[in-house]
Amino acid sequence: MGQGFEDVFTQYGALLSRVANSYEANDAMQQELLQEIAIAVWQGLSRFKGDSSIKTYILKIAHNRAVTHVASQVKRVDTHRYESDTLGSDGYQSPQYSPEVVSSQQQSLARLLQAVRALPLQPRQVLTLSLEGLSYDEIAEVCGISKNHVGVILKRAKQKVLQEEPNA
């Protein structure tokens, strides 16, 4: 309740970045969405009453903003298609792992993100919140659905993502 925006963003910025990443494949659009989320969180902090944890509250704001962003992007007619940058563009390699292992992990992560992004909005939202470690109760609060419905949606989302994985 008494946390300022800078404190909240310092503590939860990486989490909010992962939310944006789960909704947008393109790096530039991820950054745009993250900025939209940051503004919405900044505006929403004054309305935080402490009825839930700050994490749950800002995730609700972030996911609502992401849903609105995706819906507006669907309506927009693009004249060109964006392509994702390759992973690992920072130029650093982990000294612990061989390039083959790092490449394999990056490819697995890219396939997982692609499968998650292919989900309809509500299952994507529920799965993303679950991957962030939220409880069924917290997910239900963020999404505005019942705890039981969270379980059903999550099970179906996981099955759909697993179906998308190529047989290795």
Give which of 50, 42, 40 is closest to 20, Cα–Cα: 40
DSSP state of 84: P
Task: Round to whole Å and give the CA distance between 92 and 73.
Answer: 33
Task: Round to whole Å and give the CA distance between 33 and 69.
Answer: 7
Residue-wise burial string across 4-18, b where 16 or more C-beta atoms lie within 10 A, e elsewhere: eeeebbeebeeebbe
Please tell me the predicted confidence (pLDDT) of residue 73.
Answer: 66
Angle between helices 121-131 and 99-118 in degrees, nearest 10: 140
Average pLDDT over residues 126-155: 90
Q: What is the pLDDT of residues 63-85, one digit of tens each?
A: 888 888 877 765 554 434 333 44
- The structure tokens listed for 129 are 């919140």
Domains of the chain: residue spans and CATH:
1-78 (1.10.1740.10), 103-167 (1.10.10.10)
The label of the residue with tokens 């309305």 reads: 47
Task: Round to whole Å and give the CA distance between 145 and 132.
Answer: 18
pTM here?
Answer: 0.58
Please tell me the predicted confidence (pLDDT) of residue 150.
Answer: 93
Task: Round to whole Å and give the CA distance between 49 and 56.
Answer: 12
Give which of 3, 78, 69 is closest to 37, Cα–Cα: 69
Q: What is the pLDDT of residues 1-49, one digit of tens each?
A: 457 889 999 999 999 998 888 888 888 888 999 999 999 999 999 899 8
